[in-house]
A and B are shown apart, each in its own frame.
Chain A
């Protein structure tokens, strides 16, 4: 075969692998049980070479899963060398330190064979509704209280599923049938991927994908290095404070940008939190690198090659690298703030090319209680704040960043429970002022239409005291707030009870602004006034603007 044709085939096969993992992800999306997986795409799927290097990952999915799964497969191979794997085998774990950082995500790995020889692996993960323990909250004091932990196990051996593993997992879950269903979905989606890879190898008459893997990884690594070389070299320090659980969390990072490589050092960050907001090393790495890639190399596909130029240093036993048995369920409270932390360092190197801080970690709303008649209810939704303004553009209102998760429709939650969302609306004046305004947060008010109390877990409500910072003279977004309709402030990350007839009132944080508010154009201020996104008083205070436009409804 001539060289030109071979190079064209390499590209075709690379595209094919990306399509294969997308098929794998779609198969999972359509069968998973958790509302968060199916409505919001809290899942991931990828293909690996026999050395455990990730070659392609589905676009569908979240950053936290993507990069953690890249490392997870290697842990499986340490435990079960590829030579000991057999056709029909499937391996599983939900160990936070070897998977994606908390027990809710089962990682499933399936080797692929051609003529009895291993040629690659598929891995997938999704958030399952319940794994026992204290449930989705930050309340646990150790991982032992957070639910069942399944170590690296062979779940299917040469085609025969080990029902004992299922039985143990089901015996430890409040939603045993859904848990089993999610595990079966993970197995099935890997099989879909494996069949497609086999088709491709037949079509192109390949015995191995090693040469293709080399091509993908080399090309991606070099492109990433090239992108990093466009960032001025140097050492940049940054810090950020979060509310934390029992005490504020200090996050510190030093970014060393070298010749086509970047090292992030978290030295000086806070010690362990006593409650489950700690971010295991794998999750810390995932979101740090995600934040850097967003700015430096957004168009380069995720794989082991494009991740290689990034190195993350953490000190064991801190809130960004807790060791077992630290609690980690609500790891995203810290983890999803890390892209903003990275932006803070990058902004020093790339002035005028980095957004302001966002609301950050999503507020997960686990709500449970009694009905007047019938079974108790237990539903999950999310509350989303604003993203930081971008240089040249306002921030996005009520949109998750960095998470790719979206909201569950109100009518779906109201169908699955007696809850009523009385208000779900933009919160005027919550976007940080600036030449470019931060995205708005929202106000959410929820009550029970039955005469009964209900509970809300506040484990993930952060930025109540520490708002999203502005950039280049932009002001911070408004901090969040959580209280009862009757007035009492919900100050802690505990599980709170909303009395019968009362409501919970949430104000989600706004994003920070970019640039001096005095430079905001009159047209933009007037448009905000007309839409009621900024109040007349707010415009006077933040922009020194007199009322000209018509106020909104």
Chain B
């Protein structure tokens, strides 16, 4: 019983990975309308390939974009929202600001619950928790009648200041529960997202209610299918924060699954970082539509508590719905293989964020697409072998790629030969580099010191050039790069995070109150983890968000493991100032600081990686062939040696310029890099520049 199974449902493909002592088997199948069908198809395939019966699987880890897609396509449940009297429109008013200054035609994000399904009831606390008006229970009952008549499938409840005082919400839920049919879901803001800032809390709660009936149904069907298959092992779900949880908790808080796929990718990079003892890793995941960049320090990805889902306007911040859940902090930009290239009014090449997707896809797919894309540029520049794309299942047409590039970019800019494609490639790489730099500066990091880990179908093609632009000196392309997220699922710990808002100034710090709150959070989180891992040690990580009073952005500090004492507050101040100074270059010694939000994460440790076997380096066997490929650092086409990844034994060493081809991607080794294959079969590129 040592085989472990993972499945990642994406928009286009469902990736399934089986790892057993005998090795790894992977399957990529098209995502199906009833998603469990695709998962089961993939599962059957990998089991057949490994020659194992379903009963040999010891754990099944699953991540999915289903919740995200339901939010993007607005295909969730008919949901009602019950809130405090006078606050009916908070959910729709949002930040009350335009996210695009100059576009007078822009639209604000549409709320998940339309106004006719938003109801209010009297009952009010102020910012210190004093009850100014008791909950009007008769009014709750009257709303309950109307909600029942509306035949909704879900109800979200969000009252002012419920992040700290949940009693009114709990009482209202009790009343509604008694009135509504048992299959109607009820979600409380004090349970889904107990954090200050009413719009974000309400938005998160409504998103949870909106996707819950569908997610609950899907998860239960999948469980039944697995049982029928004879796979009795636990089913664990990947959360956007990078932890695993049980089916039961996932069905209660499905909004926590929104970014599970990208989280899996970041976990893969974190694992590799620990395996290689890499202190600073830049995780670079490039697929068909977007690129994701994440910083991993000391083997741990950075976490955040807010995410914007379903951005409706050119991926612009503010055009989506905020959800405040634990997520792995990453920047996602509209730069993938399918991203469309155009020329704007100022004769500038633009790439993305819109994508040709898989259908019709890039011009070179010859499936009716006429738009020039990044994949077309890669083909025109010689990086992709048209006969071997996607395991050779899809023959690409270089002439169609060149025609599209000439029409959309070459003619408007009077560029010929390789130059339209070179321009598109350079701009998309520059966009990714800029996003990575801005992401790093927001965190006070120096990006040139990082090692890049590249995976996803598009990343190995562009990682070398991106590394040159960022001054990154080492790039690792792991095995199984094209199903990286699913592999990452198998590296995740079982964990759960509980977050509470509780403001305390340094000068008024009361250790007793804070210790009580932290213990309560830890007990809640541990109970969740115990359902999946009944025995063994648990680790507890505690952090607090701190800021100068008057500032709006907090920095996160780790708390000591023991109960806090009054002196600890002063130590935290010193830590805060040190961190603040390192990021922003200045500190404000006279300004009091305040603690804002407290988070406790309880984890059952995942397996520790074993260090890679050392290998003796030796010259790689001669390349299979040679072809002309554009080398941006030299600004011309150059002869690249072409290797097959399967031909390269651990220890093989070679120098750029070269291409390393494998089933679903190609690694471009720029002239300024050398490459060797390490003990685990990973491709490691190193810069030759001093």
Q: Which of A48-70 contact B (CB under 8 A)?
A: 59, 63
Inter-subunit contact A196/B437 (CB<8 Å):
yes
Q: Given A400-B96, A421-B86, A38–B553 Cβ distance below 8 Å?
A: yes
Q: Mark B84-101, 1 if CB is under 8 A from A, else 0.
A: 001111101101111001
Q: Given A294-B104, A298-B103, A415–B348 Cβ distance below 8 Å?
A: no
* Distance (whole angstroms) from the CB of B367 to the closest CB of chain A: 29
Inter-subunit contact B427/A12 (CB<8 Å):
yes
Inter-subunit contact B98/A177 (CB<8 Å):
no
* Distance (whole angstroms) from the CB of B308 to the closest CB of chain A: 14
Q: How far is the CA of A390 from the CA of B105 in the complex (A)?
A: 7
Q: How far is the CA of A424 from the CA of B87 in the complex (A)?
A: 6
Q: How far is the CA of A290 from the CA of B178 in the complex (A)?
A: 56
Chain A residues with CB under 8 Å of B96's CB are 384, 398-400, 406-407
Cβ of A397 within 8 Å of any chain B Cβ, yes or no, is: yes
Q: Which of B639-662 contact A (CB under 8 A)?
A: none
* Distance (whole angstroms) from the CB of B141 to the closest CB of chain A: 15
Inter-subunit contact B438/A19 (CB<8 Å):
yes
Q: How many pairs of residues, A versus B, come closer than 8 Å at their CB atoms? A: 223
- CB-CB nearest in chain B for A31: B584
Q: How far is the CA of A184 from the CA of B543 in the complex (A)?
A: 28
**Stretch in A21-29, A484-492, A494-502 touching the partner:** A21-29
Chain A residues with CB under 8 Å of B198's CB are 409-411
Cβ of B551 within 8 Å of any chain A Cβ, yes or no, is: yes
Chain B residues with CB under 8 Å of A521's CB are none
Q: Given A414-B127, A449-B126, A19–B434 Cβ distance below 8 Å?
A: yes
* Distance (whole angstroms) from the CB of B497 to the closest CB of chain A: 22
* Distance (whole angstroms) from the CB of A454 to the closest CB of chain B: 14
Inter-subunit contact B104/A390 (CB<8 Å):
yes
* Distance (whole angstroms) from the CB of A419 to the closest CB of chain B: 8
Chain A residues with CB under 8 Å of B51's CB are none
Cβ of B610 within 8 Å of any chain A Cβ, yes or no, is: no
Q: Given A15-B430, A300-B346, A396-B108, A424–B437 Cβ distance below 8 Å?
A: no
Inter-subunit contact B101/A411 (CB<8 Å):
no
Inter-subunit contact A15/B161 (CB<8 Å):
no
Which residue of B128, B422, B586 has the most chain A CB atoms within 10 A of its CB atom? B586
Q: Given A219-B347, A299-B344, A442–B127 Cβ distance below 8 Å?
A: no
Inter-subunit contact B127/A411 (CB<8 Å):
yes
Q: Given A8-B419, A38-B552, A180-B588, A404–B87 Cβ distance below 8 Å?
A: no
Q: How far is the CA of A493 from the CA of B336 in the complex (A)?
A: 54
Q: Given A178-B550, A223-B345, A418-B126, A188–B115 Cβ distance below 8 Å?
A: no
Categorize the interface residue count of chain B.
35 or more
* Distance (whole angstroms) from the CB of B417 to the closest CB of chain A: 8
Chain A residues with CB under 8 Å of B430's CB are 12, 15-16
Q: Is the interface of B mostly helix, strand, loop or mixed?
A: loop
| A7, A203, A416, A553: the one within 8 Å of B118 (CB) | A553
- CB-CB nearest in chain B for A301: B346
Inter-subunit contact A14/B124 (CB<8 Å):
no
Inter-subunit contact B441/A26 (CB<8 Å):
yes
- CB-CB nearest in chain A for B554: A30
Chain B residues with CB under 8 Å of A405's CB are 97
Cβ of B114 within 8 Å of any chain A Cβ, yes or no, is: yes
Chain A residues with CB under 8 Å of B550's CB are 33-34, 129, 175, 178, 181
Cβ of B413 within 8 Å of any chain A Cβ, yes or no, is: yes
- CB-CB nearest in chain A for B201: A411
Inter-subunit contact A11/B423 (CB<8 Å):
yes
Cβ of B196 within 8 Å of any chain A Cβ, yes or no, is: yes
Q: How far is the CA of A426 from the CA of B87 in the complex (A)?
A: 9
Q: Which of B117-148 contact A (CB under 8 A)?
A: 118-120, 124, 126-128, 130, 132, 146
Chain A residues with CB under 8 Å of B67's CB are none
Q: How far is the CA of A41 from the CA of B427 in the complex (A)?
A: 28
Inter-subunit contact A411/B160 (CB<8 Å):
yes
Which residue of A175, A180, A404, A425 has the most chain B CB atoms within 10 A of its CB atom? A425
Inter-subunit contact B115/A532 (CB<8 Å):
yes
Which residue of B104, B116, B198 has the most chain A CB atoms within 10 A of its CB atom? B104
Q: How far is the CA of A192 from the CA of B584 in the complex (A)?
A: 9
Which residue of B103, B126, B591, B635 has the most chain A CB atoms within 10 A of its CB atom? B126
Inter-subunit contact A423/B86 (CB<8 Å):
yes
Cβ of A462 within 8 Å of any chain B Cβ, yes or no, is: no
Cβ of B197 within 8 Å of any chain A Cβ, yes or no, is: yes
Inter-subunit contact A177/B437 (CB<8 Å):
no
Q: Given A5-B635, A404-B101, A449-B132, A11–B419 Cβ distance below 8 Å?
A: no
Chain A residues with CB under 8 Å of B635's CB are 1-2, 5
Q: How far is the CA of A2 from the CA of B338 in the complex (A)?
A: 29
Which residue of A41, A196, A422, A442 has the most chain B CB atoms within 10 A of its CB atom? A422
Inter-subunit contact A188/B102 (CB<8 Å):
no
- CB-CB nearest in chain B for A33: B550
Inter-subunit contact A531/B90 (CB<8 Å):
no
Chain A residues with CB under 8 Å of B585's CB are 188, 191
Chain B residues with CB under 8 Å of A299's CB are 102, 344-345
| B114, B128, B584, B588: the one within 8 Å of A531 (CB) | B114
Q: How far is the CA of A223 from the CA of B552 in the complex (A)?
A: 39
Cβ of A201 within 8 Å of any chain B Cβ, yes or no, is: no
Cβ of B107 within 8 Å of any chain A Cβ, yes or no, is: yes
Cβ of A185 within 8 Å of any chain B Cβ, yes or no, is: yes
Chain A residues with CB under 8 Å of B598's CB are none
Instruction: Please name 11 pairs of A and B residues whose Cβ atoms are closer than 8 Å in the assembled complex, sorted by A.
Output: A5-B635, A14-B348, A27-B584, A35-B552, A175-B550, A192-B441, A396-B107, A410-B90, A414-B127, A552-B116, A553-B119
What 6 pairs across the A-B complex have the smallest Cβ distances?
Answer: A406-B97, A38-B552, A414-B127, A19-B434, A423-B86, A531-B115
Given A29-B553, A410-B90; 8 other pairs, CB 8 A cutoff: A16-B434, A27-B584, A177-B590, A300-B345, A418-B128, A424-B90, A426-B92, A553-B118
Q: Mark B residues whose CB is within 8 Å of A.
A: 86-90, 92-93, 95-98, 101-105, 107-108, 114-116, 118-120, 124, 126-128, 130, 132, 146, 160-161, 163, 196-199, 344-349, 413, 415-416, 419, 422-423, 426-427, 430-431, 434, 437-438, 441-442, 469, 503, 548, 550-553, 583-586, 588, 590-591, 635
